[in-house]
Chain A
Amino acid sequence: MNKTLFSAVSKKFVMALAGLFLLLFLPVHLGINLMLLKSDPEPFNSAAHFMATFPLIKVVEILLFLTILIHVTYGIILQILNWLSRPVGYKVRNKSETGAFSRFMIWTGGSVLIFLVIHFFNFYFIKLGLVDGNPEDFYSVAWQLFSIPGYVILYWICFLLLGFHLYHALQSAFQTLGLSNEFWKPVIRAISLIYAIAVPVGFAIIPLVIWLFK
């Protein structure tokens, strides 16, 4: 195996770049989802239609799926290699002070992946014709899902875990890309915190508002 292309640092570099791309995508998705708050289904459905049909977006969509695949595959490979690096563990749990949530990335990431599969089943599979539903009316599909309390609770748990993942992810990506130093570290940490709260809260608030006011 090529030692430089597949070095521990190169693998992390790919992980970080893929992760940052996914971080760019989330606010776009959130922007469209916020249209669910309107009583008129038209703006949300036309935005969804635009995302499904505009040629340039189709290219980005392929890139997005590839990025998810790369991020997940590299994440799993790195995790397995890391576990193999300590075949015999400690008897006393390691109490070393670490960044919040940084030790649980594989678990928070894995949970988000499970949610992503459910999400694809609910929406993307309709588009592909694998599941019944009207691909031109995702507004009704979303509203219907948000009327199921169990689904909403699962949705909230997933976004809480996503928030944990994102808080470490953003600052870790900058560190991995070599873009952090003593001066910028607190700034990057603050941006990570704002992002990790704003985006998941933005998503989670939608079913709540629908429940309370609609």
Chain B
Amino acid sequence: MKLKLKIWKQKNAKSGGAFETYDLDGVAPEMSFVEMLALLNQTLAQQGREPVAFDHDCHEGICGSCGMYINGYPHGPVKGLTTCLLSMRHFKDGETIVIEPWRAKPFPVVKDLIVDRSALDKIQVAGGFISVTTGAAADANAVLVSKKKSDLAFDSAVCIGCGACVAACKNASAMLFVSAKISQYALLPQGRPEAKERVRAMIAEMDSQGFGSCSNTGACEAQCPKQIKLFNIARLNREYYKSY
């Protein structure tokens, strides 16, 4: 496959950026999107040109570092996949692919396609945990959890914090991320003792990081590679009101 790539190039957070166009030959349909970019960088290195900076790590869709905005879609046009699992067979030979970094005020561009997503970590640090007394591990069956609730909690716990929800949202809102983090604890008995403090602290941190509010458009749900559901946001709202 032959591709024309239009990629956002930016030296650092302070400098301005612009698109640069690259022609890439020899792309195999079975390559992942990240492998395709690695091929591009190899080609650029051989030509003595500066490679494109992009984040990637696990290559199996669980670390959440490879986020980029591909042809108008965070993580590309295929639902339920991270960029590293997106295969090049979903693109046509000769196609032009425009690649941009996540755009949001709390996600400043570090370089090219790499953005600083530590704003999400700060929300997590504000309350996304349970306090436990150290010592021997508690017996797993000491506190009973219904199958339905444990499944729902697990479905929200699969959030990898990649930031695609923020990137997709017209308001750059992190509500789907926060709702997943809230839900995974709110649904389990272990999360209840600190539920009030958790939801208030995480919402306050979300606001102070500069994320937008939720317009319930559903773009986040559509683009989430882990397919976190929108009704988690309703649960987040419920938890927030209940905390008063």
Looking at the assembled complex, report how far the CB atom of A88 sits from the nearest CB atom of chain B, in whole angstroms: 6
Number of chain A residues close to chain B: CB under 8 A: 43
From A98, which residue of chain B is reached at the shortest CB distance?
B217
From A84, which residue of chain B is reached at the shortest CB distance?
B105
Number of chain B residues close to chain A: CB under 8 A: 51
Chain B residues, Cβ within 8 Å of A177: 237, 241
Chain B residues, Cβ within 8 Å of A11: 213
B241 & A178 in contact (Cβ 8 Å cutoff): yes
Main secondary structure of the interface of B (DSSP, over half): mixed
Q: Known contacts A86-B172, A97-B218, A98-B218; is A92 also within 8 Å of B72 by CB?
A: yes
From A1, which residue of chain B is reached at the shortest CB distance?
B207
B204 & A3 in contact (Cβ 8 Å cutoff): yes
Q: Known contacts A9-B240, A177-B237; is A182 also within 8 Å of B231 by CB?
A: yes
**Any chain A CB within 8 A of the CB of B168?**
yes
**Any chain B CB within 8 A of the CB of A8?**
yes
Chain A residues, Cβ within 8 Å of B19: 91
From A86, which residue of chain B is reached at the shortest CB distance?
B172
List residues 137-172 of chain B with CB under 8 A from any CB of chain A. 168, 170-172
Q: Known contacts A85-B172, A90-B100; is A8 also within 8 Å of B212 by CB?
A: yes
Q: Known contacts A178-B237, A180-B231; is A103 also within 8 Å of B216 by CB?
A: no
Chain A residues, Cβ within 8 Å of B74: 96
**Any chain B CB within 8 A of the CB of A150?**
no
Q: Known contacts A82-B170, A178-B234, A185-B231; is A96 also within 8 Å of B100 by CB?
A: no
Main secondary structure of the interface of A (DSSP, over half): loop
Chain A residues, Cβ within 8 Å of B105: 84-87
Chain B residues, Cβ within 8 Å of A7: 203-204, 207, 240
**Any chain B CB within 8 A of the CB of A94?**
yes
Binding site for A on B (CB under 8 A): 8, 19, 69, 71-74, 77, 98, 100, 103-106, 168, 170-173, 175, 200, 203-204, 206-208, 210-219, 222-223, 229-231, 233-241, 244
Q: 6 A-B residue contacts at CB 8 Å?
A: A81-B213, A82-B171, A86-B105, A90-B100, A96-B222, A97-B222
